[in-house]
């Protein structure tokens, strides 16, 4: 099976590329390198540099005997999406529609789409399963929900079948060190902790210590990127074998607080980190963990990493190698 990984030079996409290659898929990566990095591309991967806003480039790429698409090319900073929705409308909505249309025009049937727990909005209950209402509270989450809805229509209209993978908090790096590109201007907790650990930033803040949680800091469901990557190959195989469409959560079901992450990072790194407590960040729910039973049931997906220290170690190994 030949797979076009759109956004395959990015953080999650490069791990997906690696997993696909290891399972014997033929892989082409389509990426504009706006945030991804060429050093993430493995030697067996064919690379097509192009933008999802360029319909001709997409058509050309889809015409090269593609059997399935994994689409991870998106803007993903929640805060920025609330300030500049136009950028998110263009990249995440128009760009994704271009992909669906290029697939339809070239008879490419299967798409695995990077969705997000952000489609659920403020959780009405925990853990959040796939039956939870879709009510995004930020524009980024809306763009993901909008594309899920379009894929649902396209699938009902016989154009394609899809897997929407709703990621919870992606963390970690491939344990063998083969993916080395770091994200530019990271906004997420783990890369920010690493910048503080390596002196690239003087300190960081924990946003809020007055939540209704045991230690007062927010609880999230951190899932290792290699486990996420594995779910993509399982989803592609399911699409090809059963001609179904589905949306599933990808999380471990286990919650870890920000303070627990910071403590675990200090233990792995072997030194105290410089941080303070700052006010809550707007739009952060106290607890967000995944009901992940459906991914297990449908795909046989079972995360291998359940220990946050082991996850952090995979990130710290990379930092040490590069500093």
Task: Give yes or no for a contact between 260 and 222, defined as CB atoms under 8 angstroms apart.
Answer: no
CA-closest candidate to residue 298, choices 227, 221, 253, 242: 242
To the nearest whole angstrom, how small is the minimum distance from the Cβ of residue 258 to ligand UDP?
5
Per-residue x/- track, 215-244, ligand UDP (CB under 6 A): ---x-x------------------------
What does the alpha-carbon distance between residue 323 and residue 320 come to, in Å, rounded to a whole number?
A: 5
Residue closer to ligand UDP (CB basis): 62 or 147: 147
Of residues 194 through 213, those in contact with ligand UDP by CB under 6 A are 204-207
281 belongs to the binding site for ligand UDP (CB under 6 A): yes
Q: Is 167 a catalytic residue?
A: no
DSSP state of 208: -
Q: How far is the CB of 106 from ligand UDP (least distance, A)?
A: 34
Q: Which of 11, 139, 140, 162 is catalytic?
A: 140
* Contact (Cβ atoms closer than 8 angstroms) between residue 231 and residue 250: yes
Closer CB to ligand UDP, residue 166 or residue 220? 220
User: Within a 10 A sphere around the Cβ of 271, how many other Cβ atoms?
Assistant: 9
Q: Tell me the closest approach of the beta carbon of residue 164 to ligand UDP, in angstroms.
A: 17
> In the chain, where does DSSP find H-type helix?
11-22, 55-62, 78-83, 85-88, 95-106, 139-156, 189-197, 225-242, 258-269, 293-299, 308-322
Minimum distance of ligand UDP from residue 76's CB (angstroms): 9
Site size for ligand UDP (CB under 6 A): 14
User: With respect to ligand UDP, which residue has the nearer C-beta, 164 or 189?
Assistant: 189
Candidate ranges 148-156, 183-191, 228-236, 295-303; the one touching ligand UDP (CB under 6 A): 183-191
Interface characters, 248-267, with ligand UDP (x: CB under 6 A): ----------x---------
Nearer to ligand UDP, 60 or 183 (CB): 183
Contact 253, 221 (CB under 8 A): yes
CA 61 → CA 5, 48, 49, distances in Å? 11, 8, 10
Q: Which of residues 143-172 bind ligand UDP (CB under 6 A)?
A: 169
If binding is defined by CB under 6 A, does position 115 make contact with ligand UDP? no
At 3, list the tokens. 């797979």
Query: Minimum Å distance from CB 5 to ligand UDP?
Result: 22
Among 53, 82, 192, 287, indicate the residue that binds ligand UDP (CB under 6 A).
Answer: 192
Nearest to 112 by CA among 292, 293, 238: 238
Measured from the CB of residue 148, what is the shortest distance to ligand UDP in angstroms?
A: 18
Q: Which of 188, 209, 213, 306 binds ligand UDP (CB under 6 A)?
A: 188
Q: Is 189 in the site for ligand UDP (CB under 6 A)?
A: yes
Are the C-beta atoms of residues 292 and 215 closer than 8 Å to each other?
Answer: no
Gap between the Cα atoms of 323 and 319, Å rounded = 6
Please tell me the number of Cα atoms within 13 Å of 74 on its side-chain side. 28
Backbone dihedral angles phi then psi of residue 202, each to the nearest 5 degrees: -70, -45
> Between residues 210 and 297, which has the closer beta carbon with respect to ligand UDP?
210
For residue 217, the minimal CB distance to ligand UDP (Å) is 7
Strand partners for 21 = none
Contacting residues toward ligand UDP, per CB under 6 A: 169, 187-189, 192, 204-207, 218, 220, 258, 281, 284
Q: Active-site positions? A: 140
């Amino acid at each position: 099976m030949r797979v076009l990984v759109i956004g395959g030079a990015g953080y999650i996409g490069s791990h997906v590329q690696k997993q696909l290659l290891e399972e014997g898929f033929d892989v082409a990566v389509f990426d504009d390198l706006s945030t991804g990095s060429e050093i993430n591309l493995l030697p067996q991967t064919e690379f097509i540099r192009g933008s999802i806003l360029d319909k001709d480039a997409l058509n050309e790429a889809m015409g090269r005997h593609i059997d399935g698409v994994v689409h991870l090319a998106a803007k993903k900073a929640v805060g920025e999406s609330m300030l500049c929705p136009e950028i998110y409308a263009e990249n995440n909505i128009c760009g994704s529609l271009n992909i669906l249309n290029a697939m339809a025009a070239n008879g490419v049937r299967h798409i695995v789409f990077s969705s997000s727990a952000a489609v659920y909005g403020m959780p009405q209950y925990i853990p959040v399963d796939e039956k939870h209402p879709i009510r995004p509270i930020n524009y980024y989450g809306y763009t993901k929900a909008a594309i899920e809805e379009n894929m649902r229509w396209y699938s009902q209209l016989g154009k394609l079948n899809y897997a929407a993978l709703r990621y919870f908090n992606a963390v970690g790096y491939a344990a063998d060190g083969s993916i080395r590109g770091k994200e530019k201007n990271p906004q997420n907790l783990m890369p920010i902790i690493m910048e503080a650990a390596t002196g690239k930033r003087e300190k960081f803040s924990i946003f809020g210590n007055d939540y209704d949680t045991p230690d007062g800091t927010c609880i999230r469901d951190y899932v290792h990127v290699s486990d996420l990557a594995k779910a993509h190959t399982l989803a592609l195989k399911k699409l090809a074998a059963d001609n179904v469409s589905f949306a599933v959560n990808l999380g471990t079901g286990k919650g870890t607080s920000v303070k627990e992450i910071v403590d675990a990072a200090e233990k792995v790194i072997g030194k105290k980190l410089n941080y303070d407590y700052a006010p809550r960040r707007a739009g952060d729910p106290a607890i967000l963990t995944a009901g992940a039973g459906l991914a297990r049931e449908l795909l046989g997906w079972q995360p291998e990493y359940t220990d946050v220290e082991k996850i952090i170690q995979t990130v710290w190994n990379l930092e040490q190698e590069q500093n």
